[in-house]
């Protein structure tokens, strides 16, 4: 007598049908040390994310079993901070690799939806002045509203083998334009630019440029390195300093601009999915861009919660901006006048 063979859903045998939530892992059952070592963050931070994203992650689903927001967040944090979907991570919270991937997608989109809530320039005058004062305290550079730079994040080759994502090193990447304050808090993050675009082109086309040129930030400026052109709202170093004032300006500029380089290092130290140590992001450019932005949101939230990212060890490889700087001179006479006035007023 033939015995029919059925393909069994093991989860179905374990948990049955019906819209139930899988609570296979309990935060209260483990120590803070375990949470930090496995998921990169302490209990209080994870609970905050559950409160912040819980309603979004509990949206009605057509699947027979729903994974709890807590478990989805742990899965996503595990990937962001380790860069891996290995079964050790899934086993820790009791879900499959496929479910891990869905959790990362869900949490990523929930964080991206809230990006403008956590990544933005201050609006009120008191906060703007505090921003300038903090920068001035670093190296004596006045009027600074933020420091700007680009960094590359490696991605897999797009299905269409789009050459626009191949950077100068022959690798596929996204060129990400970011601005931070003196503490490393991100004030702007555009993570979608193809890796073939040079930094100056990214800035030229970025929403950041439109924001500064239309909102008329005449009482301050950003600091950018020599890969960018001088603008009235963007102070760059002098290519060939000659006077003592010009040398002092360049030294103050470099010491202040270094904040964003430290910020890039600490973001990659915390979010190992971005540092290429476990390989490139195995997603389309759009999804990879969202993962980078989600990590930027988490970076700012971690600073709000007093987590000291400056103390994080610098690990893994970092695809810093790879420009071969050309000796570009701005044709913007007004921008040259603003920089010259800054030199005379503060560095002479």
Mean pLDDT value across residues 3-15: 37
Count of alpha carbons within 13 angstroms of residue 101, beta-carbon side? 8
- 217 or 180: which leads in pLDDT: 180
Which region among 27-31, 111-115, 251-255, 307-311 has the lowest average model confidence (pLDDT)? 307-311
C-alpha dihedral sign at 70, 72, 76, 82: positive
234-235 sheet: strands from edge to edge: 186-194, 173-180, 144-154, 221-223, 234-235
Residue 20 has pLDDT above 50, yes or no: no
How confident is the model at residue 160, as a pLDDT?
Answer: 74
As for how many domains the chain has, the answer is 2
How much is the average pLDDT of 116-127?
Answer: 94
The answer to the question of residue 42 being in a domain is: yes
> What is the chain's mean pLDDT, rounded?
84
Residue 317 within a domain: no
pLDDT value of residue 83: 83
Three-class SS of residue 42? coil
Rounded distance between C-alpha atoms, residue 193 and residue 161, angstroms = 16
**pLDDT bucket at 219, cuts 50 / 70 / 90:** confident
* Contact status, residue 297 vs residue 45, Cβ threshold 8 Å: no
Q: Are residues 99 and 150 in the same domain?
A: no
Residues 264, 211 share a domain: yes
Query: What is the predicted pLDDT for the residue at 161?
Result: 66
Let me know whether 75 and 40 are in one domain.
yes
For residue 15, what pLDDT is reported?
35
Q: How many CA atoms lie within 13 A of 203 on its CB side?
A: 24
**CA 204 vs CA 105, 197, 221, 292, 323: distances in Å:** 31, 11, 16, 21, 15
Q: And the tokens for 170?
A: 């022959």
Whether residues 102 and 231 share a domain: the answer is no
Reply yes or no on whether the pLDDT at 48 is more than 90: yes
- State pLDDT tens for residues 275-322: 877 678 989 999 999 999 999 999 999 999 988 655 444 444 444 444
The residue segments making up the domain with residue 78 are 32-57+67-113
Q: Is 2 part of a structural domain of the chain? A: no
In a shared domain, residues 150 and 175: yes
Question: What's the confidence (pLDDT) of residue 13?
Answer: 32
**In a shared domain, residues 334 and 224:** yes
Of residues 223, 206, 55, the one with CA closest to residue 145? 223
Structure confidence at residue 88 (pLDDT): 57
- The residues near 197 (Cβ < 8 Å, ≥ 6 apart) are 164, 175, 205
Q: Are residues 50 and 132 in the same domain?
A: no
Overall residue count recorded for the chain in this entry: 348
């Amino acid at each position: 007598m033939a015995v029919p063979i059925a393909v069994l859903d093991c989860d179905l045998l374990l948990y049955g049908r019906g819209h139930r939530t899988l609570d296979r892992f309990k935060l209260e059952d483990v120590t803070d040390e375990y949470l930090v070592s496995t998921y990169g963050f302490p209990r209080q931070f994870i609970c905050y994310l559950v409160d912040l994203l819980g309603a979004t992650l509990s949206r009605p689903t057509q699947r027979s079993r729903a994974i709890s927001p807590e478990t989805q967040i742990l899965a996503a944090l595990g990937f962001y901070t380790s860069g891996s979907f290995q079964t050790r991570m899934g086993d820790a919270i009791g879900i499959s690799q496929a479910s891990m991937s869905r959790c990362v997608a869900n949490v990523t989109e929930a964080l991206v939806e809230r990006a403008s809530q956590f990544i933005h320039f201050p609006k009120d005058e008191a906060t703007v002045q505090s921003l300038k004062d903090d920068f001035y305290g670093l190296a004596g550079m006045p009027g600074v509203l933020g420091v700007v730079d680009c960094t590359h994040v490696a991605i897999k080759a797009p299905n269409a083998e789009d050459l626009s994502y191949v950077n100068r090193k022959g690798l596929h990447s996204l060129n990400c334009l970011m601005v931070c304050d003196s503490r490393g808090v991100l004030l702007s993050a555009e993570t979608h630019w193809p890796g073939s675009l040079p930094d100056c082109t990214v800035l030229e086309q970025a929403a950041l440029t439109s924001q500064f040129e239309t909102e008329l930030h005449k009482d301050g400026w950003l600091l950018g390195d020599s890969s960018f052109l001088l603008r009235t709202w963007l102070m760059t170093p002098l290519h060939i300093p000659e006077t003592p004032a010009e040398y002092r300006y360049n030294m103050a500029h470099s010491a202040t601009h270094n904040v964003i380089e430290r910020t890039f290092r600490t973001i990659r130290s915390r979010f190992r999915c971005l540092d290429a140590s476990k390989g490139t992001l195995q997603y389309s450019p759009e999804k990879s861009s969202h993962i980078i932005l989600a990590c930027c949101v988490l970076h700012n939230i971690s600073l709000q919660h007093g987590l000291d990212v400056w103390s994080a060890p610098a690990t893994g490889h970092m695809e810093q901006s790879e420009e071969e700087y050309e000796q570009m001179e701005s044709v913007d006479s007004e921008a040259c006048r603003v920089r010259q006035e800054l030199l005379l007023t503060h560095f002479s």
